[in-house]
Amino acid sequence: MFRVIGEIVKPNLVTTFKKEVKALKPENAREKVYMDLGSKHRAKRFQIKISKIEEIQPQKTETSS
């Protein structure tokens, strides 16, 4: 499980994001974030700036109860 932190830079909008995704490798997590954010926010890959990818334990997720 990985936590991906970055920002979406569009012409009239800059917004930060923190997303937790299940993946085996950091490269797979990066691709998953590109797909999800591109789909939900209509952002192109060059508009998504990933600043950090960190591996986390599933028990340490912010979304778990």
User: Residues, the chain, total?
Assistant: 65
Max Cα–Cα distance, the chain, nearest Å: 37
At residue 33, the 3 state secondary structure works out as helix
Per-residue pLDDT of the chain (65 residues; tens, 9 = 90+): 999 999 999 999 999 999 999 999 999 999 999 999 999 999 999 999 999 999 998 877 776 54
| pLDDT reported for residue 7 | 96
Q: Model's pTM, two decimal places?
A: 0.83
| pLDDT reported for residue 61 | 72
| pLDDT reported for residue 64 | 53
All domains of the chain in start order, with CATH: 2-56 (3.10.20.10)
- Which tokens sit at 11? 């012409």
Residue 27 — φ and ψ, nearest 5°?
-65, -40
Compute the distance between CA of residue 24 and CA of residue 28 in angstroms, rounded to an integer. 7
